Amino acid sequence: MIDALIDTLHDTRLMTMFFAAIAVGATVFTLISPLFVTDGLSKRMRAVADERERLRQRERDRLNRTEKVSLRQTPKQVVQKVVEDFNLGKWLAQEAAREKLLQAGFRGQAPYVTFLFFRLVTPIVALLATVIYVFLIANMTQGLGVKLLICIVAAYLGMQAPMIYLKNAIKKRQLSIKRAFPDALDLLLICVESGMSVELAFRKVASEIGTQSVPLAEEFTLTTAELSYLSDRKIAYENLQMRTGLDGVKSVCMALAQSERYGTPLGATLRVMAQENRDARMTEAEKKAAALPPMLTVPMVLFFLPVLFVVILGPTGIRIANTW
């Protein structure tokens, strides 16, 4: 059976048809996927509204000194059972992972338990798949040491895969927030100077900025709830900067906290912060534009120049060949 599978994998015609089918399927999926795109803004805003209600209930229970209610969904039973049976909270727990999960938009105990579950499962799956391929399917001629090294590297990559996924999600979310944050500060400044309180301003901006950045609207809505129900408003600003992990948001939160503490004009603070964030966004765009020429050098040398030489020297070469 294994020999037949190996012969099938080495069949050039069959593998060509297989990869061609994959390419056609990917092309069809790319063309029709925009037709099935759903509106994620309303769904995320409903989730944020539910989160705000849970925060309100938690603060009321804390003030009444009653038992705290659960703020998040419970993880799935299978995942929860595996994590508890293997005591992964002790062996694989990472405090930094909790903060990264918040920055990626995953809140509560359920995402953390799921993260620990995949930290256990993915290296095992990667190791087993590599062992089956290296020792049974590929029939590699390398020594045993090389094969074991490949298996160890695959297991290590499997262990790092959940963290890599988390970092990519954080990067994507931070990019969305970073692009919309200067505009959100301008809207916040307009709301504050029109006479709104900070809570109303955050709520209004959250409803307006959602079309540009859903993660930023979500964070502003949570900040509105925390400003309304936390005993210390500074904690709400600290939570906002911790959930985003951006330097620009951190500086704005520090300025807002100092304005709350010392009574400095909030409009002037927001105006300065908005200008600084717009300048930072423009500087980043200029930096990316300045990096384009070196990046285009290699593609031009490899692809454009040979074609240009063929177009220019091709007719001359044909004439020389005809004279011979």
- Angle at CA of residue 275, ends 270 and 280, nearest 5°: 125
Q: Hey, what are 245's tokens?
A: 């992990």
Is the whole model's pTM more than 0.75, yes or no? no
Alpha-helical runs (H) found in the chain: 2-9, 12-32, 40-63, 77-85, 88-91, 95-103, 109-132, 144-193, 198-209, 214-229, 233-244, 247-262, 266-290, 292-299, 305-323
CB atoms within 10 A of CB 85: 8
Q: Which amino acid is at 85?
A: D
pLDDT for res 171: 92
Is-contact 164 172, C-beta < 8 A? no
CA gap 47, 282 in Å, rounded: 33
Closest to 223 measured CA to CA, from 196, 208, 244: 244
The tens place of each residue's pLDDT in the chain, 324 residues long, gives 566 666 666 677 777 887 888 888 888 888 787 776 565 666 666 766 676 667 667 666 655 543 343 434 455 566 666 656 555 555 455 667 778 888 888 887 788 888 888 888 888 899 999 988 888 887 777 788 888 898 899 989 988 888 889 899 999 999 999 888 888 989 998 998 888 888 888 888 988 888 888 889 889 988 988 888 888 888 888 889 888 988 888 888 888 888 888 877 888 888 888 888 888 888 888 888 888 888 888 888 888 888 888 888 888 888 888 887
pLDDT for res 67: 38
Is-contact 111 99, C-beta < 8 A? no
Q: Strand, coil or helix: what is 311? A: helix
Closest to 169 measured CA to CA, from 111, 225, 211: 111
The length of the chain is: 324
Rg of the chain, C-alpha, whole Å: 28
